[in-house]
Amino acid sequence: MSKILVTGGAGFIGANFVHYWRREYPADTLVVLDALTYAGNPANLEAVKDYRNFHFVHGNILDQALTEGLLREHEIDTIVHFAAESHVDRSIHGPDAFIETNIVGTHSMLKAAREVWLTGSGRDHRFHHVSTDEVYGSLEPDDPPFAETTAYAPNSPYSASKAASDHLVRSYHHTYGLQVTISNCSNNYGPYQFPEKLIPLVVVNILTNRPLPIYGDGQNIRDWLYVDDHCRGIDLVLKKGVVGGVYNVGGNNEWTNIEIVRLICGLMDEQFAVDEGLKARFPDAPQVRGLKAASLITHVKDRLGHDRRYAIDAAKCRAELGYVPQESFATGIRRTIAWMLDNEPWWRAVMDGSYRDWLDRHYGKMRA
Ligand code: NAD
Ligand code: TYD
Length of the chain: 368
Is 68 assigned a catalytic role? no
pLDDT of residue 171: 98
pLDDT of residue 366: 54
Q: DSSP 3-state assignment of 247?
A: strand
Q: How deeply is 147 buried, as exposed, middle or buried, from its count of CB atoms within 10 A (0-12, 13-18, 19+)?
A: middle
Among protein residues, the one with the nearest Cα to ligand 2's atom 4 is: 197
Tell me, using a 6 A CB cutoff, whether residue 37 lines ligand 1. yes
Residues forming beta bridges with residue 297, ordered by sequence position: 212
**Annotated catalytic residue: which of 134, 223, 235, 254?**
134
Is 134 assigned a catalytic role? yes
Question: From CA 346, how far away is CA 340, in angstroms rounded?
Answer: 8
pLDDT of residue 368: 44
Tell me, using a 6 A CB cutoff, whether residue 62 lines ligand 1. yes
Mean pLDDT by 10 residues, the chain (368 residues): 97 98 98 98 96 97 98 97 98 98 98 95 92 98 98 98 98 98 98 98 98 98 98 98 98 97 98 97 98 98 97 98 96 98 98 92 66
Helical (H) or strand (E) element with 5: strand 3-7
Is 355 assigned a catalytic role? no
Atom number of ligand 2 nearest to Cα 156: 6
Read off the DSSP letter of residue 136: G
